[in-house]
Structure 1
């Protein structure tokens, strides 16, 4: 029996049902990745995976996440609020000089109430910046500025010099790095420091706290230490064998299974591996509902290509993905593409373009298409000795072929290379929020409406609507209910999710319910179909 079960597990691995998670790193105890079979049906150049959320330390060390996956963190000295400086507003003045330079004036700070404004005034003038001149007007707190030197670059600090209550007292200045607190507009901030975004935990039958206690007790505080011999580093070293992380992205599970997938599925470059699943990031600032959360659903495609065609495929996926957003939008003008500047690039990126949506609070990323080069596969090869190179015979390439960068084509055939990766990465939470904002419409109440409330409508694209069709019987008679059930069942068989609405409510209220959830097609006996969805319904019924 045991031999038969081992044979089954071997079959699962060879044929793409099941893989040991992080196998190239020795495997992760009790964790498995579900292979490509049964994930993707509508493309022959893309397969799917469902890899383990728990990720061992060596995988994320090799990918650069342990050392590089961090944001800068800043605290407001008044509120202890923490925020990312790259998302914070810049300093604003109420006055400028004749040349337009902001060299003098007042800085406005906003407190939640009058009492807090008074408390802040005392804290600033007594402790943070003793003696500076301030003015309180209700919950507004003004800081009087004598001069202001803006930072020369993001790596250098400018200075704010404050006016003093007593002119004989020396002026007080603070460094200014180009931002203030988002909530208070306060310039009184701590220095920025890196903050790793990954959730760390431990996979070990032994309580890791006991190891921490033992390591700390064994440490001699009287011993002269060097920076590499701190207690924290010793504790980390002891715990490293059992350290794991909740994955910050789904991509690394794809990369470490590259050889498994190519072997079991016989995939040839160019091809893609897609994955949808939970990712986790210990965000400094959680905001705007589901826009930024520590746990989110991520959809990623890693498309593996030859180095000399990577530029073509990068442009291809940028256009393809952007057009997808425009196709499903009510207001295409509220979507845009934005190329990353050099100082925005991730450490692995050759190029990156974001698709952004204009949310009620401003532009925000909904998807990124990145040219990752061969960084990830190369790093995992160096660490584990895995063989991720591709060997292929070169086809005849014409000089005028626009898909090929001739300068990167190998001189000899067969060619041996590490594939480059074009990545499409989308947060499903943000996508959902963007399309809800895009589809939400309010129709003013009619003049004779006693309630005077606007009518809410979601104009979702039919492919995005959760309910495709609703059957609304006009009477509760059994023979009509039976007919309604037959109609709904016939539509469901065509792949359209259909509901039967109770006849207890008036027909108008039943219509309004489906207006609010974005149902694109309604059937009330004579069949009422919304605008712009007839072709979609016809196509589904013909399939």
Structure 2
């Protein structure tokens, strides 16, 4: 599986889906640029989401809010105080990681601790660091890229939270043994036990909106109070910076919540209704892994659906099902998608209940979307901090109660008994990572087909045609100019229908050109040949079946359009 994933990443780089950002300058860790095909694939996924959740409904409107977010908004929402992870540094490898995701210590058959370095040179450098700084005079051996730490005893942490300890064997048997605290985990990639204590790490990117460099205020603060303690100086610095502090938003949702009253007023709407938003979010992720799966800059497809309190359970179950079905619509292998309900100890501070949609990536199950019942937490917090009027007035008995009662999923006890009644809406949120969606659908579509005769397997991306970057490739049989007029007519007819179409006129055999487009997921290749010059017919080849159909060139856009709409028609009938 790992080799197959590497082959997919190689295809993405080679064919123009993904590039390392600023690669000619050595690249930027965790940052990627989307090439010509990557842009199209991402846009097509977004468009599918938008059609299903905005255009196909009459109860959803859209917003596009600012990326820069004031401190006061994220303080009210709880992000300033809650949006942190406990992190640990490895003093040997300099890696930083979350302890709750880290493995326990591993030992060899002799009870000693093996540390695995990336290569022999690194192993020698780490061994020197251990001998001179981290554990002087401890007995160690180096075997290639493996360092072995000799131990006499390892005490595990107890259930009451007391730390364990590792007791090392010394080079000099008369020397007092060295003891190292053991918290129950090690650095995930190397098995190194040389760790700092865990400490909170804020996941938000902070910046400053100020024409005057705020660092001058920081310098002045430290000069004016030279005898303050470190904690006092930090508090004064934070106070000096607060007026100009803003954040790159960690989620798009807060922009929706602070605009709630304005949307209700301008659109003349009331619950149940949703607000959709697509946009960039930023998180100062420590572990950047698996290509675009986890990156500091990512794009979200979010829907905040506002409902009366007594309808919240009903609509949580509704959106839980609706969102899962959307993922399956475009999947080659639906069995590789699943839903997983959160346990109570893993939910966000605002959530009443939450379900993840997960995809079975080559490294294991990974979240691609969360559907959460956020209750009235967000709107209530902003009411408390601003006095905003986010309440909804019910003048008559709620007409939307019937489906809730029929399904048995509502909260009948919350239905107002006296009218008029006022309530703060509850929110059901679906939040999908567009970057992760793109990676999931690439993995799902990536096939390696054996053609036999001792040849290596060829790559085929069996993307849903609605998601495929290029819809049609037109292939004149040779490079002779007499094919050009008809080729351009076919191309123009498809482009006028909004279908991304390319002309593939390279001097390659037609079969090789087919295979090139199979590799990037093009669902239909259209061949213009000598017969086309006689009767104006062309051949349409299907990517997945290899079947070919001869039609008049004026019908090509209709044939392709009908096949693209087959899935959309099913969606509209549901």
Q: Same fold (TM over 0.5)?
A: yes
DSSP-derived class of the 2:514 partner: helix
Superimposed CA distance per residue, residues 216-245 of structure 1 (whole angstroms, 9 cap, x where no aligned partner): 221141x6x595xx1121122122111111
Written as runs of structure 1 = structure 2, the 5 A alignment for 1:292-311 is 292-311=294-313
Q: Decide whether the 8 Å contact of 1:442 with 1:454 is kept in 2.
A: yes
Residue 425 of structure 1: aligned partner: 431
Higher RCO structure, 1 or 2 (CA under 8 Å, sep 6+): 2
Please give the alpha-carbon distance, in whole angstroms, between the structure 1 residues aligned to 2:407 and 2:337. 32
Written as runs of structure 1 = structure 2, the 5 A alignment for 1:320-399 is 320-392=322-394, 393-395=396-398, 397=401
Residue 243 of structure 1: aligned partner: 245
Q: Decide whether the 8 Å contact of 1:279 with 1:295 is kept in 2.
A: yes
Please give the alpha-carbon distance, in whole angstroms, between the structure 2 residues aligned to 1:275 and 1:475. 47
1:198 to 1:147, Cα distance in 2 relative to 1, 3 A: same
Q: Determine if the alignment matches structure 1 residue 530 to structure 2 residue 535.
A: no
Residue 286 of structure 1: aligned partner: 288
Q: Determine if the alignment matches structure 1 residue 468 to structure 2 residue 492.
A: no
DSSP-derived class of the 2:516 partner: helix
Written as runs of structure 1 = structure 2, the 5 A alignment for 1:155-234 is 157-221=163-227, 230-234=232-236
CA RMSD for the aligned pairs? 2.7
Please give the alpha-carbon distance, in whole angstroms, between the structure 2 residues aligned to 1:476 and 1:72. 62
Name the count of aligned residue pairs. Answer: 491
Please give the alpha-carbon distance, in whole angstroms, between the structure 1 residues aligned to 2:457 and 2:339. 33
- Structure 1, unpaired ranges of 5+: 1-35, 96-103
> Which of 406, 415, 418 is the matching residue for 2:421?
415
DSSP-derived class of the 1:117 partner: helix
Q: Decide whether the 8 Å contact of 1:110 with 1:139 is kept in 2.
A: yes
DSSP-derived class of the 1:194 partner: strand
> Once the 2 structures are TM-superposed, how far is the Cα of residue 134 of structure 1 from its aligned partner?
2.9
Please give the alpha-carbon distance, in whole angstroms, between the structure 2 residues aligned to 1:262 and 1:294. 33
Residue 446 of structure 2: aligned partner: 440
Please give the alpha-carbon distance, in whole angstroms, between the structure 2 residues aligned to 1:412 and 1:193. 50
Residue 147 of structure 2: aligned partner: 141
Q: Decide whether the 8 Å contact of 1:462 with 1:536 is kept in 2.
A: no
DSSP-derived class of the 2:217 partner: helix
> Once the 2 structures are TM-superposed, how far is the Cα of residue 511 of structure 1 from its aligned partner?
0.9
> Once the 2 structures are TM-superposed, how far is the Cα of residue 268 of structure 1 from its aligned partner?
1.8
Which structure has the highest helix share of the two?
Answer: 2
Please give the alpha-carbon distance, in whole angstroms, between the structure 2 residues aligned to 1:533 and 1:317. 38
Please give the alpha-carbon distance, in whole angstroms, between the structure 2 residues aligned to 1:127 and 1:209. 35
Residue 462 of structure 2: aligned partner: 459
DSSP-derived class of the 1:59 partner: helix
1:244 to 1:148, Cα distance in 2 relative to 1, 3 A: same
> Once the 2 structures are TM-superposed, how far is the Cα of residue 400 of structure 1 from its aligned partner?
5.0
TM-score by length of 1: 0.83
Q: Decide whether the 8 Å contact of 2:314 with 2:407 is kept in 1.
A: no
1:173 to 1:493, Cα distance in 2 relative to 1, 3 A: same
Q: Decide whether the 8 Å contact of 1:198 with 1:280 is kept in 2.
A: yes
Q: Determine if the alignment matches structure 1 residue 62 to structure 2 residue 76.
A: yes
1:503 to 1:110, Cα distance in 2 relative to 1, 3 A: closer
TM-score by length of 2: 0.79
Residue 497 of structure 1: aligned partner: 500
> Which of 103, 108, 111 is the matching residue for 1:94?
108
Q: Decide whether the 8 Å contact of 1:73 with 1:194 is kept in 2.
A: yes
Q: Decide whether the 8 Å contact of 1:62 with 1:379 is kept in 2.
A: yes
> Which of 405, 408, 411 is the matching residue for 2:411?
405
1:205 to 1:459, Cα distance in 2 relative to 1, 3 A: same
Q: Decide whether the 8 Å contact of 2:466 with 2:564 is kept in 1.
A: no
1:541 to 1:304, Cα distance in 2 relative to 1, 3 A: closer
Please give the alpha-carbon distance, in whole angstroms, between the structure 1 residues aligned to 2:309 and 2:158. 38
Please give the alpha-carbon distance, in whole angstroms, between the structure 2 residues aligned to 1:81 and 1:540. 48
Please give the alpha-carbon distance, in whole angstroms, between the structure 1 residues aligned to 2:270 and 2:560. 34
Please give the alpha-carbon distance, in whole angstroms, between the structure 2 residues aligned to 1:501 and 1:126. 63
> Once the 2 structures are TM-superposed, how far is the Cα of residue 164 of structure 1 from its aligned partner?
4.1
Q: Decide whether the 8 Å contact of 2:309 with 2:425 is kept in 1.
A: yes
> Once the 2 structures are TM-superposed, how far is the Cα of residue 277 of structure 1 from its aligned partner?
0.9
1:532 to 1:388, Cα distance in 2 relative to 1, 3 A: farther
DSSP-derived class of the 1:319 partner: helix
> Once the 2 structures are TM-superposed, how far is the Cα of residue 41 of structure 1 from its aligned partner?
2.8
Please give the alpha-carbon distance, in whole angstroms, between the structure 2 residues aligned to 1:347 and 1:540. 42
Q: Decide whether the 8 Å contact of 1:270 with 1:306 is kept in 2.
A: yes
